[in-house]
Amino acid sequence: MRCVLQRVKSASVTVDGEVISSIRRGILCLVGIGADDTKHEQEWLAQKLLALKVFPEDREGEVWGWKKSVVEADYEVLCVSQFTLQANLRKGAKPDFHGACPPEVARQMYEDLLADLRRRYKPERIRDGRFQAMMDVQLVNDGPVTLVLDSATDAPARPVPKAPLTEEQKQKAKEKLAARQKNREQRVSAATSGAGTPVTASASEADKAPAQATTEKSEKELIHEAEEKSRELAERFKVAMLEPVP
């Protein structure tokens, strides 16, 4: 998504001689939706528009300053769909608009953007033009301040979903867990048999032996045991998640 953001003292949209939307101080956002844009870019733009600090702290006195966002300053937002922002001008003199999202898809994404902005901010302070209409847009640029946002260069990369494990990978994970559990049981068994209690020891002394053995373990050994149990639980959980839900 591409967006030209302008800090304005006022802005309005007129269609067929009728003013359909207007704001006082705030930001005017011309939004162009690209053919490859997804919900990821839409959510990024909504968050970015409301978070950018383009207003001075003093509402009346200061002219410049980058202290407050439109939300923090309690101003208004006017969005206008602008597919021409996706024009390719590399060749020839005629703009190429093949990079713009098809209208039937772009309309839904644009409406989702407006809904997201209203959810994140005060709904009554989010205004918009008319999708696919010939509009006259009037504004008083405050500053002037004009910024360009482009998800292709400014947004973080889309999260890549993990590919599902193959049956071979699932089997290896189960075997790894079984081997680790077997090794742990063998170590516990060896430690128990090697720490036998003398036959002449009294019953009370025998009862005290496990507690004494525990206290005699070093902190390093206890940490190692805890880490082993943690890894085993993690492996068990991982294998359990691989099993189909009945």
Beta bridge pairs of residue 30 = 4, 80
Q: Which of 38, 84, 181, 186 is catalytic?
A: 84
Q: Which of 6, 42, 82, 86 is catalytic?
A: 82
User: Any catalytic annotation for residue 82?
Assistant: yes
Element (H, E) at 142: strand 136-150
| DSSP label at residue 91 | S
Q: Which of 6, 55, 83, 86 is catalytic?
A: 83
Q: What angle do CA 10, 25, 18 make, to 5 degrees?
A: 35
Of 41, 8, 2, which is closest to residue 23 (Cα–Cα)? 8
How many other C-beta atoms can be found within 10 angstroms of the C-beta atom of residue 86? Answer: 21
Spatial distance between the Cα atoms of 117 and 27, rounded to a whole number of angstroms: 13
With tokens 């189909």, the residue in question is 244
CA torsion sign for 65, 69, 75, 76 is: positive
Residues forming the active site: 82-84
